[in-house]
Structure 1
């Protein structure tokens, strides 16, 4: 039974789901780093919010850990590269608090437009300064979205309902998607020049850090109002204060800061500035939603292999997992075969799918191929870190999906390129369940890839098979299955044998000396 640690305060719904699904769990919120490090090796899964820091040394101690699930969208507290290197899946729940965060952004926009916090403080102080607080309408104004993903698109829908015009800067937004949402895709400089209100809905990356820098803030329309419910670090906070003080920016509302908790900031007390303590996801509904989702995702992964909302491995739904699982087994075996037979450093790998395989999610299949390929050089490789390890070695990876008809109902081909040239292996599924090799270096060879095997490439000559059998017999090696293929009479031939037990080096040397032998390799699956 898999075991999960819930290390942050979370809705009881998460524990209920683990219990219902038959996953053992412990709830231990508030652990220190040393306390977490001391016990993390006991667990297969870790469910967290923002308090637990999953650092490289925590991951090093997590000898059994397979998955980290973050209840929420931000994973700044997880060392994803270290998790990938350790083969640990990192998941988040990007949709559980989307509506809540979008609504908070809209609320802050209204608060800026009508100066609600200042008016409230003044009124409760008994001043009744009706003429002091002159707001602006949002109707007919232009809202600029920096980031039009899940949350940004919800904000856009709400803004359009308020009769606002919406423009968006997002490199990943397609013209078709923009048209579907009803917004206009623009470049950043255009957005800055046109927007009356700006809201940010993008993760913090190297390309988005200080996206509203001092230079960009100076490009905004005078009197602009800015809302950030996404991530601290997207706005130059010092420049924001300067332009609020000068009156160029009419108002700004931040729910997030560069340093959190933000117990002090030069922005505090600045006229036109509103702040909230990272409340974007703070509704009862959102807290329950993300807890439910993270528990379901972790359970699905540990029990069925389904991968949802993963940040470092291709996603694989619970519905897809049973269909893809036989292909993953086939892909890993083909990759392992290609890796063991490769001569020289591998520079490129091509994964091709045909027939029924072409209708599937190819990403997990590719990961499985690379897992098998890397296994001869790394005993810690798995589907999470395989591509990471390949990239560290500058191995290029390509995926090709063929719609053409094939001799087989489904086919997977792996081609490996080295300085010696290209070599390909191909396989299919018998009964859509059982992996089977059907082609080796362009030669038709059918074989199961299991246990200890012997590969021999030779010239097609009479009596050669008898010599091989005699050599194995003299070495007391029993042959389980025998598979033969050739390009043509008298041409290159391939033998692939399964044998009982391991093949010793002296036997390999004996086989190498046989007349016509070009290559001999002991294989292990």
Structure 2
């Protein structure tokens, strides 16, 4: 058997290098190679594994040149520098280490909070310049102040714990945080509109998604309490940077501490030079302990996969053992795609998930199937989710999970059904593996059989004459080609479902026109 070869193209600890060697894997340690995309593209075809941090950008052209690559391991949580769809299409497993730097990042947020409250950076510069401007730097206590957390997941909950130790009051906005979990953490769950005017300090701990982009917009900043302190050690783009600059200059915002920026490396930024603004160069995970933890984890995970086929902390396939893989693989793909469908139609916060297994699939190990389904549900909402972290993330947010089994299935050898509760109502769909491929077989209790097309229009409509014609005309006018068209309905003239696979996604104006059709009750463009 040929010894697997791993390229380490970013800085990784010597202990991680030794793990590969001890496990019998050949290692090429070139920590300066990562930023040289041309050189990486030239050599990547020689390796079975690629271990990286943030400097290496694994773009489609790199993946296309990776003729033998089987696994990419990211030492850390963020995988913005890896083109996951391209890797998936090539059959390359992408792994990360989701919990290795949580404490470090939380501590950095607390450090920024203190630095902003006491003007540490400018006071240091002034003192070392020999000015001794003691009366200039009037800080403020954090004791008894209200900390508003935007996001109270893994890192946010650690920040909450530390803030409570400082005798602060903690309020949290997180659509996925249950009332019960909030009580356990000792925080008060609130809506964003309530958090903004109540908080003395706001700290952000959410991923960067379409829903969270500029969550602290100009309008949101205007709703905050005068003298607010804002801390962002999560992701760039969560705050309108230009609006924050104006708020700092007007002193509506007393101080801000940022570790992340919309464009990185941030060689220039509208916030630089603003009064009472503190900046660090994305140091949230930069401690010796965190670097060592994530390096050791990624080395172990990659070694396990290359030597035994075991998959851990993968973002593009479920965690399964080498023995289980052949039987579980098609059902895991089905579960994750059903979850992705369900997650994309969670419009008002995830309250509860039910997963039902019917038929022969109940004889298999269903744990990785459930994990795959939950990863699918949460990924449209949280981005940095994998099949290992998904169950823990569900538990952290207090969203109830119920699993049930039935030994027989009325129509199919095996069937998986997912129900999600959002906005007080249930949305349900089911799927089966047919001819080795995952298929949708039921939506809202209505039978139909459809593939998971890359771009799929999901439409809930009234079954009235003229709908299909109007839809076809709308898509034709928009130059959108229909790839597949599948229908289901309760009864003639009653409620109906259409799943329309299209070759190109609709623009926002065209989606608005679709939703305005008189027969349409609900419409969403799904991506698989």
Provide the TM-score with structure 1 as the length reference. 0.65
Q: Tell whether the 8 Å contact from 2:95 to 2:315 is kept in structure 1 after alignment.
A: yes
Aligned runs of 1:233-248 on 2, under 5 Å? 233-248=237-252
1:223 deviation in Å? 0.7
**Match among 214, 219, 237 for residue 218 of structure 2:** 214
**Match among 21, 26, 29 for residue 27 of structure 1:** 29
Give ranges in structure 1 of 5+ residues lacking alignment: 336-349, 368-383, 385-399, 417-421, 428-525
> Aligned residue for 1:67?
71
2:261 pairs with 1:257 = yes
Q: Tell whether the 8 Å contact from 2:149 to 2:170 is kept in structure 1 after alignment.
A: yes
Q: Tell whether the 8 Å contact from 1:202 to 1:231 is kept in structure 2 after alignment.
A: yes
**Match among 117, 126, 142 for residue 113 of structure 1:** 117
Aligned runs of 1:383-402 on 2, under 5 Å? 402=404
d(CA) in 1 for partners of 2:94 and 2:188?
34
Q: Tell whether the 8 Å contact from 2:112 to 2:257 is kept in structure 1 after alignment.
A: yes
> Aligned residue for 1:138?
142
> Aligned residue for 1:328?
328
Q: Deviations over 1:237-289 (max 9, x none)?
A: 11110000011100001111122222222322221111111111111111111
**Match among 287, 309, 312 for residue 313 of structure 2:** 309
1:12 deviation in Å? 1.1
1:404 deviation in Å? 4.6
2:48 pairs with 1:54 = no
Q: Deviations over 1:428-472 (max 9, x none)?
A: xxxxxxxxxxxxxxxxxxxxxxxxxxxxxxxxxxxxxxxxxxxxx
Q: CA RMSD in A?
A: 3.3
d(CA) in 2 for partners of 1:146 and 1:5?
38
Q: Deviations over 1:328-347 (max 9, x none)?
A: 27969x99xxxxxxxxxxxx
Q: Are residues 243 and 65 of structure 1, via their aligned partners in 2, closer, same or farther at CA, if it must alter by over 3 Å?
A: same
1:175 deviation in Å? 2.2
Secondary structure (helix, strand or coil) at the match of 2:364 reads helix
> Aligned residue for 2:16?
14
1:104 deviation in Å? 0.8
Secondary structure (helix, strand or coil) at the match of 2:72 reads strand
Q: Are residues 303 and 241 of structure 1, via their aligned partners in 2, closer, same or farther at CA, if it must alter by over 3 Å?
A: same
d(CA) in 2 for partners of 1:168 and 1:330?
39
Q: Tell whether the 8 Å contact from 1:146 to 1:199 is kept in structure 2 after alignment.
A: yes
d(CA) in 2 for partners of 1:403 and 1:415?
9
d(CA) in 2 for partners of 1:126 and 1:44?
57
2:39 pairs with 1:39 = no
Aligned runs of 1:325-404 on 2, under 5 Å? 325=325, 327-328=327-328, 352=358, 356-357=363-364, 360-363=367-370, 402-404=404-406
d(CA) in 1 for partners of 2:302 and 2:200?
42
Q: Deviations over 1:92-112 (max 9, x none)?
A: 112111111111110110111
d(CA) in 1 for partners of 2:327 and 2:372?
7
1:144 deviation in Å? 1.1
1:87 deviation in Å? 2.2
> Aligned residue for 1:3?
5
Q: Are residues 358 and 73 of structure 1, via their aligned partners in 2, closer, same or farther at CA, if it must alter by over 3 Å?
A: closer
Provide the TM-score with structure 2 as the length reference. 0.64
Q: Tell whether the 8 Å contact from 1:331 to 1:366 is kept in structure 2 after alignment.
A: no
d(CA) in 2 for partners of 1:34 and 1:28?
14
Q: Tell whether the 8 Å contact from 1:200 to 1:228 is kept in structure 2 after alignment.
A: yes
d(CA) in 2 for partners of 1:47 and 1:84?
17
d(CA) in 2 for partners of 1:412 and 1:364?
22
d(CA) in 2 for partners of 1:261 and 1:34?
20
1:364 deviation in Å? 7.8
Q: Are residues 38 and 184 of structure 1, via their aligned partners in 2, closer, same or farther at CA, if it must alter by over 3 Å?
A: same
Q: Are residues 425 and 28 of structure 1, via their aligned partners in 2, closer, same or farther at CA, if it must alter by over 3 Å?
A: closer
d(CA) in 2 for partners of 1:37 and 1:351?
44
Give ranges in structure 2 of 5+ residues lacking alignment: 336-355, 375-385, 387-401, 418-430, 437-528
1:356 deviation in Å? 4.8
2:419 pairs with 1:413 = no
> Aligned residue for 2:349?
none
2:90 pairs with 1:86 = yes
Q: Are residues 200 and 364 of structure 1, via their aligned partners in 2, closer, same or farther at CA, if it must alter by over 3 Å?
A: closer
Q: Tell whether the 8 Å contact from 1:90 to 1:311 is kept in structure 2 after alignment.
A: yes
2:186 pairs with 1:185 = no
Q: Are residues 123 and 42 of structure 1, via their aligned partners in 2, closer, same or farther at CA, if it must alter by over 3 Å?
A: same
Q: Tell whether the 8 Å contact from 2:330 to 2:433 is kept in structure 1 after alignment.
A: no
Secondary structure (helix, strand or coil) at the match of 1:361 reads helix
d(CA) in 2 for partners of 1:7 and 1:311?
20
Secondary structure (helix, strand or coil) at the match of 2:89 reads helix
d(CA) in 1 for partners of 2:232 and 2:31?
29
Secondary structure (helix, strand or coil) at the match of 2:167 reads coil
1:5 deviation in Å? 1.0
d(CA) in 2 for partners of 1:87 and 1:330?
14
Q: Deviations over 1:329-380 (max 9, x none)?
A: 7969x99xxxxxxxxxxxxxx963565536533258989xxxxxxxxxxxxx
